[in-house]
């Protein structure tokens, strides 16, 4: 029986395993060094905040794997021997595969800052990071202040987490407003204001210069590029992630930032594939980045690759871009593409309700008036409807006029659509 | 235990610690409870009206003050910080303590009301007499243990209702729904029956009747004494009787078709009302495992069969007495029940069989068989001649010998009415979660659930591919539904047990869930494929899935 070995039990590896099981009776082994069972990485924050226990982050009950004949193995893979189709585990054990799927996820970016390996410097990616955070920052007596570096989505989660334990947070971000490398400025500043309103000490246009330790090798303070010294007990790294591929050195598998794959998610070595955070597209698809460290991409790659593995070669060909996140109390969703400033030939329509932290930005083509994408804040939108509108290349006018159809807010919510529509028409006639 | 869990036991750190307002509020609330407890031992009560007012004001003030301390200084949003660290909401020491106290209270209330000051002869004493002034003001009669309970129950729904609305003030569905349960409890369950009691005496003989309490939740509604009371109370009596029947056969099916069982379970019902307000802090304790789901289906449907049989027995017995002047005869009644059950079964099997899993079909058939056999038994055998020795069923507590119909009725009242809905259903909030009764025990929920599953426009829609499998929805579903299992596959959630509380949707950090009423067509989409994929692959996936 063909043996499929999957390294990594995250969303990518597990989705591949589940779908291969649905389509075939191949032998499947999933190896991970992190946990016995699949859990949702995106939910780590809720464990620290006390919303959930760790077991609640596991989407399947423990009997599920045996019942579906998916073998799980907790082990660290040290080497892949592509010539002999074997992998070596840390214990010295070896395992043979017929097909190998690499789904090894990400590690935190470190940019060689002085002091980056001191005790009390950490990211938030793994279960171990969560446990470490309980040691580094259990409360505001052990951790009198935390400094977060880099303004990504993990950073805002860390800020919210520490905030629930009344730990003062200083947040250094390079940009003029939070995540303004992705969000249009008015939205980014709305998020900045929201963080400030929660007493997060957000410092714009400020960067880390050095992490300063004490004589025991613990973090004592950071120095910023502007020269300020901020005393702290925890430095949270949230300056992005990069693929976890170090153990592949010398395996013959082509890597760049991530594991290089073609549109069939295949590496340069036959029968070796890569999916999820660790994969890098040789040619990016459409406007997408070559490495996409998002949940949905991992899941969809798993679904796609399972088809290929089960004799139905299928191209990685994702549909319209979508994503979502939450910035403390502000929910964010996006469908299609909205850049932080409109692409050449495009324009933004922006609406904001400051009192309720609600906002909408629509990107559209100025000349053709086609709808390109939408960002919404504190306004849930229906994925299905936007997918269709993007397929149909609807005009921005149509989209604004029919926003109501795409509303996904709970019943009885006060809807701002009339206000948006009249504001849009007013701006349009003013041009 | 790993290190991080050990650290969590550190006492009194945020978000676990209580702030000053919360502590003060606890003291105030406890003072109010303390007044009640002191009066347990007080035989001669002076100034009951003043002490009662003081007690109820302090209790409500304590609860509302606690809510203010918890939410007033915070921005709108989800407020679940520290839920699993707090002893009371994570089955810790305080949780168990509260569970034991509540259970004890229910045991005294149901079985030892004399401890509260109910006297078979003479005036009330103790706590019950404290409530006399209020009871007299409303109905003109002295209080009973049920009046005490009803008052505290209403206060709990009102005060914790305010807390709940404060907590979810950003979510109008939750706010409006809570106003609704607060209204129905105060008006329908508490005030109207007391006022109705005032009518009694001059030509009226109305039984205590909470109009929104529909059979089979109100399992005693069609007992002989009540029917006689209704019939002897003129037009109002007849209206109430007819309303009771119309609620079952007309109002309930129509509303459930249009809105799902939520119209009742989280907008109207008193049990649901208490669960949603006072029980809100315990919703995360429900068991989400598949085995719990399996047990739930057997238990709740068994209770339903039990109540149908119990009521059929009781009604058929008094219809069977001659010369009682009932419009309906025993045989017609029994025939109608049997035919009704058969038609219902046949209709479901004919039109909905493709929506039923194998175990549901087996279950329904077994239940039909049991039901028909019992109807036949009642028809052919004079069950009033069968004697049952209660000591076998009550571990010797009850030595009485009863006729079968009375025995069945008493057993239901004891097991389901008292132990299940009260002692376990509410007493165990801090252990099994706030909807144990609604999920495992309530026959009304069982009927509404069957309809919701098979014949309703209600569903929870999942939003394309946006789910990140975080598990907030499943964790906070009080009915123990593994919402995530559906959401991460892009399937709508259509579950018999869903009471439509809307909390899964509220806590979802990615805006994935929406409670909706829509066309029945395409409501159940278990062949769904997650959105976001290449359209060709989606077609392929659903093709292969369907095969
Ligand atoms: C805190 C946080 C919040 C996030 N929130 C969101 C969000 O809201 N939305 C979103 O779209 N995305 C979010 N993401 C990103 C998302 O979680 C990832 O994109 C996704 O989990 C990647 O899945 P994966 O299967 O590729 O890898 P992973 O889930 O990282 O799994 C890889 C596994 O492989 C194991 N492994 C690696 N190398 C080896 C080896 N040599 N031997 C054995 N095992 C190995 C690792 O230990 C790990 O368990 C978040 C990420 C984090 C960290
Ligand atoms: S599924 Fe959602 S709406 Fe239904 S009972 Fe559970 S939490 Fe409430
Ligand atoms: S539906 Fe929402 S709350 Fe539930 S698992 Fe998915 S993202 Fe989390």
DSSP string, A198-266: TT-EEETT--EEEEEE-TTSBEEEEEETTS-EEE-SEEEE-S-EEE--GGGTTSS--BSSSEEE-TTSB
CA atoms of B124 and A325, how far apart (whole Å): 60
Mean pLDDT per 10-residue interval, chain B, length 547 residues: 43 81 96 92 81 96 97 96 96 96 93 87 87 92 92 97 97 98 95 85 78 89 86 85 92 97 96 97 97 95 93 85 71 91 92 86 92 89 81 71 84 87 90 96 95 95 95 98 96 96 98 95 77 73 60
CB contact under 8 A, A40 and B10: no
Which residues from A are below 8 Å from B75, CB to CB? 197-198, 329
Q: Is the pLDDT of residue A296 over 70?
A: yes
The answer to whether the beta carbons of residues B133 and B48 sit under 8 Å apart is yes
Inter-chain touch B290–A61, beta carbons under 8 Å: yes
What secondary structure does DSSP assign to B147-192, as a single string?
Answer: HHHHHHHHHHHHHHHHHHHHHTTT-HHHHHHHHHHHHIIIIIIIIH
Q: Residues in chain B, how many?
A: 547
Q: Could you say which of B3, B488, B533 has the minimum Cβ distance to residue A59?
A: B488
Count CB atoms within 10 A of the CB of residue A308: 19
Count the domains in chain B.
2
In a domain, B446, yes or no: no
Q: Tell me how crowded residue A274 is: count the other CB atoms within 10 A of its CB.
A: 31
Residue pair A166/B19 in contact (Cβ under 8 Å)? The answer is no
pLDDT at residue A426 above 50?
yes
Q: Is residue B137 part of a domain?
A: yes
- What whole-number distance in Å separates Cα of residue A90 and Cα of residue A93? 7
Nearest atom of ligand 3 to the alpha carbon of B468: 7
How many whole angstroms separate alpha carbon A378 and alpha carbon B380? 65
> Which atom of ligand 3 lies closest to the CA of B483?
4
By CB neighbour count within 10 A (0-12 exposed, 13-18 middle, 19+ buried), where does B233 fall?
A: buried
Cβ–Cβ gap B466/A383 under 8 Å: yes
On the question of pLDDT at A168 being above 80, the answer is yes
- Indicate whether B80 belongs to any domain: no
Q: Flag whether B53 is in a domain.
A: yes
Q: How far from B366 is each of B302, B344, B345, B373, CA to CA, in Å?
A: 10, 14, 11, 11
Tokens representing B437 are 């009764």
Burial A96-107 (b: 16+ CB within 10 A, else e): ebebbbbbbbbb
Last residue of a domain, one of B160, B177, B199: B199
Give per-residue burial for B331-361: e unless 16+ CB within 10 Å, then b.
Answer: eebbeebbeebeeebeebeeeeeeebeeebe
CA distance A342 to A337: 10
Q: Which atom of ligand 1 approaches the CA of A34 most closely? A: 47
Q: Choose between B395 and A418: higher pLDDT.
A: A418
pLDDT given at position B43: 64
Identify the residue whose tokens are 């029940």: B337
Residue A345 three-state SS = coil
A95: β partners: A87
Asked whether B96 and B64 are in contact (CB, 8 A), the reply is no
- B366 within domain boundaries: no
Residue where a domain terminates, one of B142, B175, B199:
B199
SS3 label, residue A376? strand
At B6 the pLDDT is 41
List beta partners, residue A77. A89
- Which CA distances in Å does B12 have to A162, B69, B84? 16, 16, 14
Higher-scoring residue by pLDDT: A8, B411? A8
B471 lines ligand 3 (CB under 6 A): yes
Distance CA A338, CA A327 (A): 18
Q: Is the CB of A238 under 6 A from ligand 1?
A: no
Examine residue B269 and state whether it is found in any structural domain, yes or no.
no
Kind plus residue range of the DSSP H or E element containing A100: strand A99-102
Question: Can you list the domains of chain A with their CATH numbers?
Answer: 3-107+242-309 (3.50.50.60), 121-239 (3.50.50.60), 322-430 (3.30.390.30)
Report CB contact under 8 Å: A317, B505: no
Residue B544 is predicted with a pLDDT of 61
Say if CB A206 and CB A197 are below 8 A apart. no
Please tell me the distance from the alpha carbon of residue A355 to that of residue A190, in angstroms, as a whole number: 10
Pinpoint the alpha helices (H) of A68-183: 127-136, 153-164
pLDDT score for B388: 82
Q: Cβ neighbours of residue B43 under 8 Å, at least 6 residues apart?
A: B125, B126
| Boundaries of domain holding B27 | 10-74+112-199
- Helix, strand, or coil here: A407? strand
CB contact under 8 A, B80 and A414: no
Check: CB of residue A147 under 8 Å from CB of residue A230: yes
Tell the residue nearest (CA) to atom 2 of ligand 3.
B508
Residue B253 lies in a domain: no
The SS3 assignment for A66 reads helix
Angle, vertex CA B66, rays to CA B61 and CA B67, nearest 5 = 100
Please give the residue that has the higher pLDDT: either B1 or A27.
Answer: A27
Residues within 6 Å of ligand 2 by CB: B 460, 477-479, 481, 483, 493, 498-504
Residue A419 neighbours by CB distance under 10 Å: 12
Q: With a 6 A CB cut-off, is B506 part of the ligand 3 pocket?
A: no
pLDDT at residue number B5: 46
| pLDDT tens by residue, A189-235 | 999 999 999 999 999 999 999 999 999 999 999 999 999 999 999 99
Give the separation between CA A405 and CA B76, rounded to whole angstroms.
Answer: 26
Last residue in a domain, options B152, B174, B199 = B199
- Across-strand partners of A60? none
pLDDT digits (tens, 9 = 90+) for A376-398: 999 999 999 999 999 999 999 99
CATH number, residue B508: 3.30.70.20
Shortest CA distance to B89 belongs to which of A238, A52, A149, A335? A52
Q: Considering only residues 157 to 216 of chain B, which have any Cβ-Cβ distance to chain A shorter than 8 Å? A: 170-173, 176
Report the predicted TM-score, pTM, of the whole model to 2 decimal places.
0.95
- Among protein residues, the one with the nearest Cα to ligand 1's atom 7 is A42
**Chain length of chain A:** 431
Query: Integer distance in angstroms from the first to the last C-alpha of chain A?
Result: 67
What is the tens place of the pLDDT at every residue in A54-96?
Answer: 999 999 999 999 999 999 999 999 999 999 999 999 999 999 9
Give B 524-543 residues with CB within 8 A of chain A: 530-538, 540-541
What would the mean pLDDT of A319-348 be, rounded to a whole number? 97
Q: How far is the CA of B486 from the centre of ligand 2 (A)?
A: 12
- Return the number of other C-beta atoms located less than 10 Å from residue A73's C-beta: 17
Q: At what angle do helices B234-246 and B224-231 cross, to 10 degrees?
A: 130
Is residue B141, in this structure, part of any structural domain at all? yes
């Amino acid at each position: 029986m063909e043996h499929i070995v999957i390294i990594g039990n995250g969303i990518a590896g597990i989705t591949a395993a589940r779908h291969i099981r649905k389509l075939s009776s191949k032998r499947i082994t999933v190896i991970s060094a992190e946990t016995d069972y699949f859990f949702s990485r995106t939910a780590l924050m809720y464990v620290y905040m006390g919303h959930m226990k760790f077991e609640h982050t596991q989407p399947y009950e423990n009997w599920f794997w045996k019942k579906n004949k998916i073998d799980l193995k907790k082990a660290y893979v040290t080497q892949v021997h592509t010539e002999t189709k074997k992998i070596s585990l840390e214990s010295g054990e070896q395992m043979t595969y017929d097909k190998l799927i690499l789904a090894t996820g990400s590690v935190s970016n470190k940019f060689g800052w002085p002091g980056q390996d001191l005790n009390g410097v950490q990211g938030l990616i793994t279960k171990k990071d969560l446990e470490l955070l309980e040691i580094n920052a259990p409360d505001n007596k052990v951790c009198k202040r935390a400094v977060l570096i880099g303004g990504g989505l993990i950073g805002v989660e860390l800020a919210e987490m520490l905030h629930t334990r009344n730990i003062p947070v200083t947040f250094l971000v390079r940009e003029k407003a939070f995540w303004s490398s992705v969000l249009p400025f008015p939205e980014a500043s709305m998020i900045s204001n929201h963080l400030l309103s929660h007493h997060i000490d957000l410092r714009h246009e400020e960067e880390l210069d050095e992490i300063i330790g004490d004589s025991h090798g613990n973090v004592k303070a950071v120095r910023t590029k502007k020269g300020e010294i901020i005393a702290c007990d925890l430095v949270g790294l949230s300056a992005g992630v990069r693929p976890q591929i170090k153990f592949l050195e010398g395996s013959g598998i082509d890597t760049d930032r991530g594991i290089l794959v073609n549109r069939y998610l295949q590496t340069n070595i036959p029968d070796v594939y890569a999916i999820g955070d660790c994969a890098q597209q040789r040619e990016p698809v459409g406007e997408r980045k070559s490495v996409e460290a998002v949940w949905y991409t991992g899941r969809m790659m798993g679904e796609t690759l399972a088809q290929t593995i089960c004799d139905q070669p299928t191209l990685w060909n994702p549909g319209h871009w979508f994503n979502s996140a939450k910035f403390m109390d502000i929910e964010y969703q996006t469908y299609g593409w909205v850049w932080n400033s409109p692409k050449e030939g495009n324009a933004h329509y922006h609406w904001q309700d400051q009192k309720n932290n609600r906002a909408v930005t629509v990107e559209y083509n100025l000349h053709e008036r086609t709808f390109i994408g939408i960002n919404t804040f504190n306004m849930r939108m229906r994925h299905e409807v936007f997918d269709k509108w993007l397929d149909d290349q609807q005009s921005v006018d149509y989209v604004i006029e029919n926003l109501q159809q795409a509303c996904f807010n709970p019943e009885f919510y006060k809807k701002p659509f009339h206000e948006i529509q009249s504001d849009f028409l007013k701006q349009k006639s003013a041009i | 235990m790993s290190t991080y869990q050990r650290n969590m036991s550190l006492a009194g750190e945020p978000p676990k610690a209580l702030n000053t307002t919360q502590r003060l509020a606890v003291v105030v609330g406890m003072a109010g409870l303390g007044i009640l407890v002191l009066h347990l031992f007080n035989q001669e009560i002076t100034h009951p009206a003043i002490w009662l007012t003081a007690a109820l004001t302090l209790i409500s003030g304590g609860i509302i003050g606690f809510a203010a301390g918890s939410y007033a200084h915070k921005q709108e949003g989800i407020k679940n910080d520290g839920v699993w660290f707090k002893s009371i909401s994570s089955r810790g020491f305080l949780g168990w303590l509260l569970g034991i106290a509540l259970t004890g209270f229910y045991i005294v209330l149901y079985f030892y009301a004399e401890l509260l000051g109910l006297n078979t002869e003479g005036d009330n004493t103790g706590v019950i007499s404290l409530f006399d002034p209020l009871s007299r003001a409303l109905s003109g009669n002295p209080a009973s243990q049920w009046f005490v309970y009803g008052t505290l129950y209403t206060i709990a729904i009102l005060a914790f209702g305010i807390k709940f609305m404060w907590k979810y003030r950003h979510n109008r569905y939750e706010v409006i729904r809570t106003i609704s349960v607060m209204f129905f409890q105060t008006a329908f369950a508490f005030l109207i029956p007391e006022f109705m009691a005032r009518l009694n005496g001059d030509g009226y003989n109305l039984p205590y009747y909470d109009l929104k309490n529909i059979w089979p939740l109100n399992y005693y509604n069609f007992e002989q004494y009540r029917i006689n009371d209704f019939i002897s109370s003129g037009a109002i009596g007849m209206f109430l009787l007819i309303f009771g029947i119309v609620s079952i056969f007309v109002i309930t099916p129509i509303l459930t078709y249009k809105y799902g069982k939520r119209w009742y379970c989280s907008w109207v019902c008193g049990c649901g009302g208490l669960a949603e307000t006072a029980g809100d802090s315990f919703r995360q304790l429900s068991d989400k495992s598949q085995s719990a789901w399996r047990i739930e289906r057997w238990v709740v449907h068994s209770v339903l069969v039990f109540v149908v049989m119990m009521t059929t027995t009781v009604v058929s017995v008094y219809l069977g007495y001659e010369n009682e002047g009932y419009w309906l005869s025993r045989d017609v009644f029994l025939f109608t029940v049997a035919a009704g059950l058969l038609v219902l079964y046949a209709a479901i099997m004919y039109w909905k069989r493709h929506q039923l899993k194998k175990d549901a079909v087996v279950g329904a058939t077994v239940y039909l068989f049991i039901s028909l056999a019992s109807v036949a038994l009642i028809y052919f055998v004079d069950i009033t001649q069968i004697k049952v020795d209660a000591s076998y069923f009550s571990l010797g507590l009850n030595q009485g010998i009863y006729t079968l119909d009375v025995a069945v009725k008493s057993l239901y009242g004891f097991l389901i009415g008292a132990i299940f809905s009260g002692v376990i259903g509410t007493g165990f909030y801090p252990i099994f979660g706030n909807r144990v009764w609604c999920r495992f025990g309530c026959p009304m929920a069982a009927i509404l659930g069957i309809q919701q599953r098979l014949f309703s426009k209600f569903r929870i829609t999942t939003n394309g591919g946006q789910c990140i499998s975080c598990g907030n929805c499943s964790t906070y579903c009080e009915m123990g539904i593994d919402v995530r299992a559906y959401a991460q596959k892009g399937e709508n959630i259509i579950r018999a047990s869903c009471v439509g509380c809307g909390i899964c949707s509220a806590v979802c950090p990615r805006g994935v869930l929406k409670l909706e009423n829509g066309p029945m067509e395409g409501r159940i989409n278990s062949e769904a494929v997650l959105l976001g994929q290449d359209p060709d692959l989606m077609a392929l996936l659903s093709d292969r899935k369907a095969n």
